[in-house]
Every structure is written in structure tokens, then in C-alpha cells.
Amino acid sequence: MTHNAVVIGGNRTPFAKAGGPYAEASNHDLLTAALDGLIARFGLAGERIGEVAGGAVLKHSKDFNLTREAVLSSALAPSTPACDLQQACGTGLETTIYIANKIRLGQIDSGISAGVDSTSDAPIVVSDSLRRTLLKANAARSAADRVKALAKIRPSHLKPQAPSVAEPRTGLSMGEHQALTTERWGITREAQDEIAAASHHKLAAAWADGFFDDLVTPYLGVPRDAILRPDTSVEKLASLRPAFGGPRGSMTAGNSTALSDGAATALLASEEWAAEHHLPVLAKVVDAEVAAVDHPGGDDLLLGPVAAAGRMLARQGLSVADFDLVEIHEAFASTVLATLKAWDDEDYCRGLGLDGKLGTIDPSRLNVTGSSLAVGHPFAATGARIVPTLAKLLHAKGPGSKGLISMCAAGGQGVVAILEAV
């Protein structure tokens, strides 16, 4: 028997720049704060939820059970199970898909999807050579063997290794990869700065309207998204120096997402569970798909979602024009622009094995309350930020309204999903 998996709502912390107001907060602290806000909003204290799925991209080894530990610190019943999932920047959407699938299969009747990241509290690890030396010393059978192993430690081994955002197979950072895509697709500086300015303006307007009042709970004295610059403009953004793509590059700190801290959650359930608990239903999860590209072979690192969207839309018999609202995660302004161009490129889409291009959308339907450039992008949290935001927007448009989510992720991967208002 299959069920509808519906989004009831969400809660997140305000997002903030790395090293800012959440500098002292760990992933555990942030995720617990986001969960407790969700629990308070929907009266779930003491409730056993079917499952909580969460994750973080930058994770300490001691946090192997991060989500379960946050559940135990939260007001949920301690009998609520949890698991950790990770799919780079797609994590928060992948956890939503996991929970929705279990609900649709009748394995659980309620669930929470979540994601969190703290670039402030990122793990620092020892070098691989030191780690191997220490492991060897630990495994030594005699004191003499242990001393022999430890004697191999060299000063150069002691340099701590900060986590890197470089792709392991190419050695290029995500920004450097995107700079290649920006050039290949002929994305202009002006178009990128327009996307960035619009993101800030739309987010500022949504905050001013009170749109986020039932989606965000203040944390550590931060009342709203701290990266947001309501007064930014295309002119101000045009004055920034290039950050990626060399001195003549068009990608700047203004049209790229900032390293951020924050956590987000979404509450999903079967329609029956929502009705029993007298909770509102906003939208159902219709379908989802993941895809990957061969970026070590030269493909565009962040265009994985194009094939994912193409396959999912073909299966559903939909085109991108059928969507009332579209959320494309703004890893970089040029990612959004390249995705839109790729959707409308017959040859590119056929090259992905699709039957043809996906088409174009009305720009007024895109990221209507702003996206990651203005909100910030705590990697694993972004998907769980977008899901309740889009569900609320679709619900306001009326039953049957459809929304598309497209998220790029490291490793050349892409995650997409369709929500439909109920």
C-alpha cells in the first residue's frame, strides 16, 4: 500500500557567515536548536517520530551518530530513531527523499529530514602520514616496536590539515570548476550580479513580509539570516574583484555563496498522521531523482541536476514550463544561469541521453524568496531549507501547484525533486 508523503512544515536556525555569531556552536548544537524549534512549532514534545534523517558535510569523527545524538538532546521521545546520510550539498534534499520514500511505502508514518553544517567548527585532522604512523604504533605488539614506529614522526607530519573544498580527483576547488563552466557557457558578469542582487532583494522582501516567521527560530541572539544584505545592488556587486577564474574571471565573493553555519529541518508525514495530529499539510513529495556527471573526464561539475531533472520530468510527463515555482540552489549565480541554459540546449540534453531539451521557465517563478547567495549555504542544511520554503509557497498558490527543486553537489552529482500543493 502506498501513501502520500506530505510536507507539514519546517524550522531552521537563521544562517550566518562562518566564524560569525555561531562560531562557538557545534553541528550538534545547531541541529538540536533546529529540531527543538520544529518540535515547539508543531507540538511534538515527547512524541515518537518514525525516523529522523540528517547529516553534515563537514563532520567530526566523534559525531558518527550526529542526528541520533541531536534527537536525544531534543524534546522528541528518546525512542525516536535516527540516521545520518550524506550527499555533499544535496544532503538536506536526499534526507527528505529518504524520509518521503519510507512514508510512501508505509514503513513510517512521520519523519523529519534535516541537515546542518558548521564551517566554523570544521574538523581539523592530522596528516595522512602521521595518522598511519600513529595507527602503526597503536597496533605494535611490543614497546620497542611502538617506539620504532613513533620515531618515524617528522615535524612536517604535525601540520594540521583543514578540510578542503577541492574535488579529490581534479584538485580544483568548486569555484575553480564552476569558473570553467562559466566560461564554457558564456555566462556574463552582469547576469551573475543580477541574480545575486535579486536573491538578496527577494529574501529581504520575504523577511519584511513575515514569510519566514513560521519557518525560522532565532538562535544565539541571531534573529534572521545574517548574510542577507538588503541594500546590495548590481552596481555595488560590480565593484568586487574576481575570486575565481583568474584576474579576468567573472565570479566574485558577491555572486558566490559564503561559507556558512546553520541547520534546517522539515517535518513530513502521511496524510493520515497529519490529520490525526491536526497538523496542516502544505505539499506532497511527488518524485525525486539523482544523477551524476563525469567531471574528472571534463564534464561541468555542477550540472549534474540537468540529467536528473530530465529523467524525472520524462517519467512524470512534465516539462519545466509546467512548474509554478522553481528552486535552483544558488551554489554560484553562474550555476543557476548555466543550469537554465543547459535546460534549453537541445544538443547538451541529448548528450545526456535525454529525448530533448527541457525548455525554459518564466524568470519570475525562480527562487521567489531568494536562495543560497543571500540566505547562506551551510552545505547539508540547504535542501532542508528549500523543501518547507517551497511547500509553503506552493500551498499559498493553491492545490495542484507544482514546484521543482534542483540542487548541485560535489562529486558531479545532482539531486532534484517535485513537490505539489495539496
Partner 1 sequence: MRGAQVAGREVEHLDAIPGMGAAFARAMVPSRTSRVTLPRRISTVHDVTQNRARLADYARVCGFTLRDAVPPTWLHVLTFPLHIHLLGDPQSSVKLVGAVHTSNSMTLHRPVTADERLELSVHLEGPRPHRRGALVDLIGQVRVDGEPVWDGVTTYLASGASVEGEPEEVERAPFEPRSPQARWRLPADLGRQYRRVSQDPNPIHTSRVAAKAFGFARPIIHGMWTHARALAALENRLPAAFTTHVDFVKPILLPSSVGFVASETPGGVLADVVTKDGAKPLLRMRVEEAA
Cell of 50: 518514525
Q: How far apart are CA 208 and CA 206, in angstroms?
A: 5
Residue number with CB closer to partner 1 (155 or 221): 221
Provide the minimum distance between the beta carbon of 115 and partner 1 in the complex, in angstroms, as a whole number: 18
Residue 272 CB, nearest distance to partner 1 (Å)? 28
Nearer to partner 1 (CB atom), residue 46 or residue 400: 46
CA distance 181 to 324: 28
How far, in Å, CA of 165 to CA of 172, rounded? Answer: 8
DSSP run (H or E) holding 395: helix 382-397
Selecting among 28, 201, 329, 377, the annotated active-site residue is 377
Rounded CA separation 119/122 (Å): 5
Q: Which is nearer to partner 1, 114 or 320 (CB)?
A: 114
Catalytic-role residue among 89, 200, 201, 349:
89
CB of 355 to partner 1, least distance (A): 51
83 an active-site residue?
no
The catalytic position among 3, 329, 349, 408 is: 408
Q: Report the Cα–Cα distance between both ends of the chain, in Å, rounded.
A: 20
Is residue 96 a contact partner of residue 387, using CB atoms and an 8 Å limit?
yes
C-alpha cell at 279: 497538523
Long-range CB contacts for residues 231-240, cutoff 8 Å, separation at least 24: 232/196, 232/197, 232/200, 232/201, 233/197, 234/190, 234/193, 234/194, 234/197, 237/193, 237/196, 237/197, 238/189, 238/190, 238/193
Q: Which is nearer to partner 1, 76 or 97 (CB)?
A: 76
Interface residues toward partner 1, by CB under 8 A: 24-26, 28-29, 32-33, 36, 72-76, 78, 218-221
Per the annotation, the verdict on 408 as an active-site residue is: yes
Shortest distance, CB of residue 29 to partner 1, whole angstroms? 4
Between 73 and 316, whose beta carbon lies closer to partner 1? 73
The span from the CA of 184 to the CA of 298, in Å, is: 11
Residue 95 CB, shortest distance to partner 1, in Å, is: 21
**Is 349 marked active-site?**
no
Catalytic residues: 89, 377, 408
